[in-house]
Amino acid sequence: MTETSSAKPFKRLLLTGAGGGLGTILRERAKAWADVVRLNDVKDLGPAREGEEIVIGDLGDRDAVLAMMEGVDAVLHFGGISVEDKFEPIMNANILGLHHLYEAVHKCGVKRVIYASSSHVVGFYETTQLVDAGMPLRPDGFYGVSKAFGEALSRYYYDRFGTETVCLRIGSSFPEPKNSRMMVTYLAYDDLVELIRCSLFTPRVGHTITFGTSNNATKWWDNKHAAHLGYVPKHSSSEFAANFPDSAAYPAPGDAPTIYQGGPFVTAGPMYK
């Protein structure tokens, strides 16, 4: 049992990637869950606000990662690279960095990690398929492959050491859907926060993989393997339906970004351009 000496559930949460898109959102919202939210990023995060600690450092730096894990109860791991890129930087941040993170988690006895995986681990399924967390991975780029690595590594830490992880296969978390694909993958910020709340406070999660979307009409992902999280989205991309009127502009045959769930990721990749 984790001792808490205040009214907030946790004493200290570590939020990595605190300067990124979702990190910025979580920096505010995580305050409800812990006396102290320790923020990490490679880039400047501005001054620490009340209830914050700031640790600038690279996940590829083993000692830095060990240091930032001291005294942490649970981790929201949103750090690393979150778009398609060359392999080497992805390897440094998302593979070596994740190794450092779990090594530190293990050494410091941290109980639970909320890990920002990605729906791009299954981006090469077709848009007419319904995918669940028990199906084989089909990543759509180096980024997706690095997240596949992360799901495997965190599974190992659970099977071997009992370290619990919830892998969030986040769809598209933005203020609103930017294109018709995001009408399917949209995750409202409020729903993202609720999903993380469920992931943090469900008494036992083992190693859970969950897709992160709002209650959108079209569904590519079946969350039956994460029904124990109790996540109930309150938003839907239907709120933005008027932005995307009915269109009969069918994609051309063989147009990969509309055939596959990964969308533009499936033809990205700097090495091959």
CB of 73 to a copy of itself, least distance (A): 6
In DSSP terms, 116 is beta-bridged to: 168
Which parts of 93-112 interact with a copy of itself (CB under 8 A)? 95-96, 99, 103, 106, 111-112
Which parts of 153-192 interact with a copy of itself (CB under 8 A)? 153, 155-156, 159-160, 162, 164, 180, 183-184
Which parts of 187-226 interact with a copy of itself (CB under 8 A)? 197, 200-206, 208, 216-220, 222, 224-225
Spatial CA neighbour of 181 closest among 136, 149, 140, 146: 140
* Minimum CB distance to a copy of itself smaller for 20 or for 97: 97
CB of 206 to a copy of itself, least distance (A): 4
- 35 scored as a contact of a copy of itself (CB under 8 A): no
Which parts of 5-34 interact with a copy of itself (CB under 8 A)? 9-10, 33
CB of 33 to a copy of itself, least distance (A): 7
Q: Which residue has the tokens 């979307």?
A: 213
The whole-angstrom separation of Cα 156 and Cα 158 is 5
DSSP H or E run through 169: strand 164-170
For 258, the 3-state DSSP assignment is helix
- 73 scored as a contact of a copy of itself (CB under 8 A): yes
The whole-angstrom separation of Cα 23 and Cα 40 is 9
Q: Give the DSSP letter string of 38-102.
A: EEEESS---S--TTEEEEE--TT-HHHHHHHHTT-SEEEE--S--S---HHHHIIIIIIHHHHHH
The whole-angstrom separation of Cα 261 and Cα 130 is 10
Choose the stretch contacting a copy of itself; rule: CB under 8 A; options: 15-23, 46-54, 77-85, 249-257.
249-257
In the 8-state DSSP scheme, what is residue 250? P
The site for a copy of itself, by CB under 8 A, has a size of 88
CB of 189 to a copy of itself, least distance (A): 19
The whole-angstrom separation of Cα 115 and Cα 150 is 8
CB of 191 to a copy of itself, least distance (A): 13
CB atoms within 10 A of CB 100: 21
- 115 scored as a contact of a copy of itself (CB under 8 A): no
CB of 175 to a copy of itself, least distance (A): 21
272 in catalytic set: no
* Minimum CB distance to a copy of itself smaller for 44 or for 250: 250
In SS3 terms, 145-164 reads as: HHHHHHHHHHHHHHHHHCCE
* Minimum CB distance to a copy of itself smaller for 45 or for 133: 133
Which of 143, 157, 231, 260 is labelled catalytic? 143
> Each residue of 133-158: b (16+ CB within 10 Å) or e?
beeebbbbbbbbbbbbbbbebbeebb
* Minimum CB distance to a copy of itself smaller for 4 or for 243: 4
Which parts of 122-151 interact with a copy of itself (CB under 8 A)? 124, 126-130, 133-142, 144-145, 148-149
Catalytic residue list: 143
